[in-house]
Amino acid sequence: MSGKTTKKVLSVIMSVILVASCMIPAFAADNKCSRDDTPLLIISGFSQYQLIDKKTGKAVWAPDSELLLNAIDKALPALETLLASDMTKNDFDVFCDDFIPAANELFSYISCTPDGEPYDQNVGLINQFTGPVSDYDYAEVKQVFANDIVDIAVEAYGADHVWVYGLDWRVDPLILADDIHDYIETMKATTGHDKVAISGISMGGCILSAYLSKYGYDDLSNITMLSAAFTGIEMVGALLCGEVEIDEQGLYNMINESIGKDTLSEIIAKTGILDKLIPVVDELIAYEKDRIYSECLIPSFGYITGIWAFVPDSRYSEAKEYMGMRMNEGTDEQNEIFWKRVDAYHYGVQGKIADILTTAQDNGVCVSIVSNYNSQMPPITTASNCTGDQVIETINTSGFATVAPYGETLDENYMRNAHLSSDRMIDASTCILPDNTWFIKNQRHVEFSNKGENDNSRFFAWILTAPADTNVNSNPNFPQFMQYDRESLTLSPLSGKMGDINASGNITVADVKLVLKAIAGTEELTDAQTWVADMNIDGKISVVDAKLILKMIVS
């Protein structure tokens, strides 16, 4: 081959290489999603996905009706015998002899070994969707996930941009964090996006927290906690400290909330059923609490690391001491492994979540926290006087708001601030992120709904992938405090919107005039009107407040 020929061949080869090198970015760009909004991963809550026995296909949590009826059949004769007895200590002992084995059989499918590993390896999630929702039969996804949040997300962002993750709540949250990491890597590769939006529902907030502690936030555009237990659950903390007691009034409150009418609770009160049953339960607790804990609750639930993720920091040491004295199964090595796992989550995840979320926000991640309030908590522990969403207390789903006890308000002299709700039930200024925490009054746990035109779906569609600079003042339709009417399926700002003196729903010149009349002494404002008129929160009404309202109108 001549020199000229060699040069020509080399030139051709170089040309091919140059052309190919130019085409590679083009091919890469083809994998880049043309949409601006990032894909969304929704992490489910506790027991939202059924756990099934893979050998039989039967649901073991929540238990299949056959399993549940079998347990009731075994326990019912013992209960009937107890109720017909003199209810001495011996009678309760006999009752527990039959009741505890029936309960343990029912819970055997979900219990863990003393080192925190699930006992029954044949038990697992009914399904797990590893690709976008668009890859599956949508009816099946809806049946498995069973929550309108999927519809809300899909309608807002498209099925090809929504992933759902079902958590096995028996498994160590720090192990599940590895699953979340794998999902995020898959989502990025599939869509071509560099960032992913992620939300944790209920216990999903614990798993999201574990992911953040282990992998950071570099791959995330949005972090959203939805009714999440990321700072624990007071009720679980009380249970693991042995503080079991029946709150009779709380029981009536929960019946009223669940049925929606006072009539049923009045009927129950007249029958005297609870008056007869509650003393029996009280006696059972007094006589048999240690036995029920040691022989039933601890073997069934005590070694589940996910349950320990619910214990708030304020109760953690006490819970470890109380439960540790009664957790007598396993070898020293197994016990060491278990407590190492539990401590790793508590100190490395829950104990650092405030710093983790704050740092993520400081680095451009949109962090949003949504909390519900004004519902009775389960009346079975000393934490039943907390206000919450029927499952998790508001203090925990909000990241430490100051919250009035259930059915009460903060003291009328409580210091007014920009984050105090107009019903004086919530002070959000003490939250981890006061400017990024929203509250919905009367909305229950994970009560997402897109059934009405003004339903709460509008808010959740907006908040899940909101811009990085979003805060409680970003959208006038969704201020920090809102209220939900489940009968009309309507989410609206909590009455008492700042500046709306005449409660018209809009801030107009009429509101300014009312303030000026109040200053001049020709109009007397009610306490509620004074509250929303005090724009600069200095405890008095002045021209400054009128100017601030006028500024809102102009802007």
- Model confidence at 464: pLDDT above 60: yes
40 φ, ψ to 5°?
-120, 135
pLDDT confidence band for 25 (50 / 70 / 90)? very low
Task: Provide the pLDDT for residue 4.
Answer: 44
DSSP code for 302? I
Given the DSSP bridges, would you call strands 196-201 and 220-226 parallel, antiparallel or unpaired?
parallel
| Tokens found for residue 363 | 């680095």
pLDDT classification of 396: cutoffs 50, 70, 90: very high
Which pTM was predicted? Answer: 0.88
Phi, psi at residue 147, to the nearest 5°?
-155, 140
Select from 223, 232, 167 the least CA-distant residue to 196: 223
Do residues 187 and 41 touch, judged by C-beta distance below 8 A? yes
- Concatenated DSSP letters for 179-200? HHHHHHHHHHHHH--S-EEEEE
Q: Any idea what DSSP says for residue 506?
A: S
Confidence of residue 23 (pLDDT cuts 50, 70, 90): very low
Model confidence at 540, pLDDT cuts 50, 70, 90, reads confident
Confidence band for 272, pLDDT divided at 50, 70 and 90? confident
> Residue for token digits 């007249």?
270
Residue 479 to residue 439: CA distance in whole angstroms: 9
Rounded to 5°, angle at Cα 296 from 291 and 302: 110
Question: For 201, phi and psi rounded to 5 degrees?
Answer: -100, 125
Long-range contact set of residues 456-462: C-beta below 8 Å, sequence gap at least 24: 456/484, 456/491, 457/148, 457/151, 457/152, 457/155, 458/491, 459/491, 460/149, 460/152, 460/226, 460/370, 461/152, 461/153, 461/155, 461/156
Nearest 5 degrees, angle CA 27-CA 32-CA 25? 30
| pLDDT at residue 286, rounded to an integer | 96
pLDDT single digits (tens) 178-234: 999 999 999 999 999 999 999 999 999 999 999 999 999 999 999 999 999 999 999
Cis peptide before 146 (omega within 30 of 0): no
Which DSSP string corresponds to 368-414? EEEEEESEEPPTTBTTTTSEESSSSBHHHHTTS-EEPPTT----TTS
Q: How many CB atoms lie within 10 A of CB 326?
A: 14
